[in-house]
Amino acid sequence: MEMPSIREGDIIRIGSHFGAPKAQIVRVYNVEEKKSGVCGDAEVVYWQNQLKGIKEDVVWNGEDWKFKIEGPNGSYVDIDHYDPRLKK
């Protein structure tokens, strides 16, 4: 399936499993940035384990949004600066 159209501020789900985290798109990378292989399709912010805000890259795998790098990655952010729906 083709990657859904996204823009900054959109809320997506990372994965399709029960309890998949909600994330807010904070940056959509352009074609040239994606060609570099350094970044994913977009940068998101999400609320990890109801404890902390994390900023991380995601990629579209044809069916779902997934983290670009599995395992611990990303950086801490103040989640209160983003959409309050992320904490629900």
Q: How high is the pLDDT of residue 1?
A: 85
**CA 32 to CA 21: how far, in whole Å?**
28
Token look-up 């997506």 returns: 12
Phi, psi of 5 (to 5 degrees): -70, 130
Check residues 1 and 7 and name the one with the higher pLDDT: 7
Phi, psi of 47 (to 5 degrees): -100, 110
Per-residue model confidence as pLDDT tens digits over 2-51? 999 999 999 999 998 888 899 999 999 998 888 888 899 999 999 998 89
Query: Structural domain boundaries of the chain?
Result: 1-70
Q: How high is the pLDDT of residue 17?
A: 86
**CA 52 to CA 32: how far, in whole Å?**
31
Per-residue model confidence as pLDDT tens digits over 57-79? 999 999 999 999 987 789 999 99
Residue 54 pLDDT level (bands cut at 50, 70, 90): very high
